[in-house]
């Protein structure tokens, strides 16, 4: 399936019409950003991490996003339970392995989640994705120490082994499904100065996956929207603070023309 401005905008219109519930078990840093971005695009976010309500909460969701940014033992139990319930229900699961490679605790948690309840989509920066294949790979805190180009071959292996879509985000975003790679070159360096925008990408992957059955298409659409909105927001922003505000406003009002004028995608 070819990914173009018309198809991306149709997916946005479907999100706006259906307002799918996207259940996020995400980190303290990104909760507000992710929830606001989901609301801006038209989805219905819920940020819930108590294990006691996982079965019911997943029961009303159209997608589940698991983000390991601020880990604790109780949250990890909830992640496993939510992923299990999502598999039973048959809804897409997005895993964001934030900081994998920074500590063994993070890396092992991500690997155990993948092996026990394989996600539909894994989205991370180059170092995080590489750490999922080679535990000796180190990340710089939660920032990548490698370029996205470096991680494509490993992303293909992870995708093939786990039968999932792997997105490597960076200056160029790569969306990998086995040996099929989609390349997106939208975005702006200033986006790296705003905390939680990578986590927001994962949340939007959940929204698009809730309305698009082809996970690779859904992720490519979400990442293209992130990059295009970021580019447009930078043009209005004076710095990282105002970028956040303009990002949400533009995401809310994004048009098909905006997408067609800026989309840089290779399939």
Query: Domain containing 73 — which CATH number?
Result: 3.40.1190.20
Interval 118-170: pLDDT, tens:
999 999 999 999 999 975 555 555 454 566 777 999 999 999 999 999 999 99
State the sign of the Cα–Cα–Cα–Cα dihedral 76, 77, 82, 88. Answer: positive
Interval 81-111: pLDDT, tens:
999 999 999 999 999 999 999 999 999 999 9
DSSP-derived secondary structure for 223-260: HHHHHHHHHHHHHH-SSHHHHHHHHHHHHHH--HHHHH
pLDDT score of 148: 73
Q: Does 223 have pLDDT greater than 70?
A: yes
Task: Tell me what the pLDDT averaged over the chain comes to.
Answer: 94
Phi-psi region of 19 (alpha: psi -120 to 50; beta: other; left: phi over 0): left
Residue numbers of the domain that contains 255: 5-266
pLDDT score of 112: 97
1 pLDDT band, cuts 50/70/90, is low
pLDDT score of 139: 56
DSSP-derived secondary structure for 111-164: HHHHHHS--SEEEEEHHHHHHTT-TT---BTTB-SS-GGGGHHHHHHHHHHHTS
Q: Which two tokens stand for residue 69?
A: 């940014």
Q: Tokens 């894994």 identify what position?
A: 122
Beta-carbon count within 10 A of 75 CB:
20
Interval 23-34: pLDDT, tens:
999 999 999 999
Say what the pTM is.
Answer: 0.95
pLDDT score of 150: 79
CA–CA gap between residue 234 and residue 43 (Å, rounded): 24
Q: Which helix (H) or strand (E) holds 174?
A: strand 173-177
CB 68 within 8 A of CB 132: no
Domain count across the chain: 1
pLDDT score of 202: 98
CB 99 within 8 A of CB 140: no
Q: What is the mean pLDDT of residues 208-229?
A: 98
pLDDT score of 142: 47
């Amino acid at each position: 399936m070819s990914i173009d401005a018309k198809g991306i905008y149709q997916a946005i219109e479907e999100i706006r019409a259906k307002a799918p519930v996207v259940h996020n078990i995400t980190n303290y840093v990104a909760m507000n950003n992710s929830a606001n971005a989901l609301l801006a695009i038209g989805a219905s976010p819920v940020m819930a991490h108590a294990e006691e309500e996982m079965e019911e909460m997943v029961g009303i969701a159209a997608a589940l996003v698991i983000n390991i940014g601020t880990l604790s033992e109780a949250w990890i139990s909830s992640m496993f339970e939510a992923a299990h319930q999502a598999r039973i229900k048959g809804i897409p699961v997005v895993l964001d392995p934030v900081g994998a490679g920074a500590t063994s605790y993070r890396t092992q948690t991500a690997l155990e989640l993948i092996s026990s309840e394989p996600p539909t989509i894994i989205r991370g920066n180059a170092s995080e994705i590489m750490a999922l294949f080679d535990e000796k790979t180190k990340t710089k805190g939660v920032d990548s120490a490698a370029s996205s180009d470096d991680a494509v071959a490993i992303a293909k292996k992870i995708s093939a082994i786990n039968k999932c879509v792997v997105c490597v985000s960076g200056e160029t975003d790569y969306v990998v499904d086995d040996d099929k790679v989609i390349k997106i070159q939208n975005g702006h360096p200033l986006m790296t100065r705003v905390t939680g925008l990578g986590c927001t990408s994962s949340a939007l992957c959940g929204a698009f996956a809730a309305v698009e059955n082809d996970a690779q298409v859904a992720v490519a659409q979400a990442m293209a929207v992130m990059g295009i909105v970021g580019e447009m927001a930078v043009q209005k922003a004076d710095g990282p603070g105002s970028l956040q505000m303009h990002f949400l406003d533009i995401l809310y009002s994004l048009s098909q023309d905006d997408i067609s004028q800026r989309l840089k995608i290779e399939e």
